[in-house]
Amino acid sequence: MRELRRRHTPFSVARWASRKAAHALSTWPGIRHVRYAIHRWEFLAGRNDSGYSGVFSTVEEAARSAPIAVTGYDQAGMADLHVYSQANGEFRPMPPTEYPALFWLRPAIESGARRLFDLGGYVGHVYYQYSGYLDLPDAFSWTIYDVPHITQAGERIARERGARHLSFTNDLGAIGEADIVFAAGSLQYLKEGFLHEALRAASRLPPHLIIHRTALHPSRSFVTLQSINQRSGRIAFCPYTVAHRERFIDGLQALGYEQIDAWTKQRAIDVPLHPECHADAYSGLYFRLRS
C-alpha cells in the first residue's frame, strides 16, 4: 500500500481523472461534432501529413469525400515524394524493417526465380534499396506495375541510373509471367481483393508471393482517405484500403498458396474518431504456391 500511495500522487490522479473526463465528454454528440470539424479542417489543410479521415465502404466513396477532383497517385508531382533525400538526390538506404522481405526474396532468386512483378512498386525505390544485398543474375527481370505518371518517372530515373534489370508496365496481365509477386506498401492504395482478382485472371500463378508493409485489420475491412504532402507543397488525397486480415489470407490460400511466414512493421493505423479501426502494425506475409 505504501508503494501504491507513493506512485499515485495527487497530480497523477488529477491528470488521470482529467483524461477520463475528456474522453467521456468527447462522446457527447455536440463535443464529438466539434472534434470532427477541427480534425477535418486540419486534415484538408494538410496539417497532418499521412493522416487519415473518415471511414467509407468503397474506394469511390472515399474519393468523393476529397476536397479536390483528382485523387490518387496518377498525377504530376506524386513521383517526387520521399524517394530521395533532399541533400544529394540519392535513394534513401534500406531501413532495418525491410529485412524480413529481403530474407524471403533472396532464396527465391537463388532457387531459380528470374522474373519479379513489383505490384505498385512506384519508381523503383525497393529495387534500388535491395539490389545492393542481392546477387541478381544478368537475365533477371524486375518489372514494376504502376500508374502511368509513376511509370514514366520511373523509366526516366532508371535510364539516368543505368538500372539494367528494371522495367515498367501498366499492363496487369504481366503478373502471369512472374516467378515472384512483390507488393510493398501498395495494396492499401487499391481496392480490397485487387491482388486476388489479378491472380485469378493471370495466365499462370506465380510460385512466390511476398506481401510487405500492408494495411490489414484483425476484425474488419474499411476504406479511409489519406492526405499526403508533396515536396512541391501541394496536398494530395488518396483512398486508403485496410483489408480484413483473415479474409485476405484465406483468399490467397483458396487460390492454392501456403502461408510460410508472417511479420509486422510497428506503425499504428489510426483514424481519428473511429477507435474501432485501430490496428497496431502493418503486416508482412510470405506465400508459396503449393505443388
Q: In whole angstroms, how far apart are CA 191 and each of 13, 221, 272?
A: 46, 11, 22
Whole-prediction pTM value?
Answer: 0.82
Lowest mean pLDDT among 21-30, 188-197, 213-222, 224-233: 21-30
Domains with residue ranges and CATH for the chain: 1-44 (no CATH), 52-289 (3.40.50.150)
pLDDT band at 228 (very low <50, low <70, confident <90, very high): confident
Q: What is the mean pLDDT of residues 23-28?
A: 50
- Give 36-51 pLDDT, tens digit per residue: 666 666 676 666 556 8
Chain-centre distance for alpha carbon 271: 15
Using alpha carbons only, give the angle 151, 55, 190 rounded to the nearest 5 degrees: 20
Mean pLDDT (the chain, rounded): 84
Per-residue pLDDT band for 275 (boundaries 50, 70, 90) equals: very high
Cα distance between residue 145 and residue 13, in whole Å: 55
Output the CA torsion 193→199→202→204 (10° steps).
-170
pLDDT in tens, 184-211: 999 999 999 999 999 999 999 999 999 9
Helix (H, G, I), strand (E, B) or coil at 246: helix
What are the backbone dihedrals phi and psi of residue 74, each rounded to the nearest 5 degrees, phi first? -85, 70
Helix (H) and strand (E) counts in the chain: 9, 11
Long-range contacts for 84-91 (Cβ within 8 Å, ≥24 apart)?
91/125, 91/128, 91/129
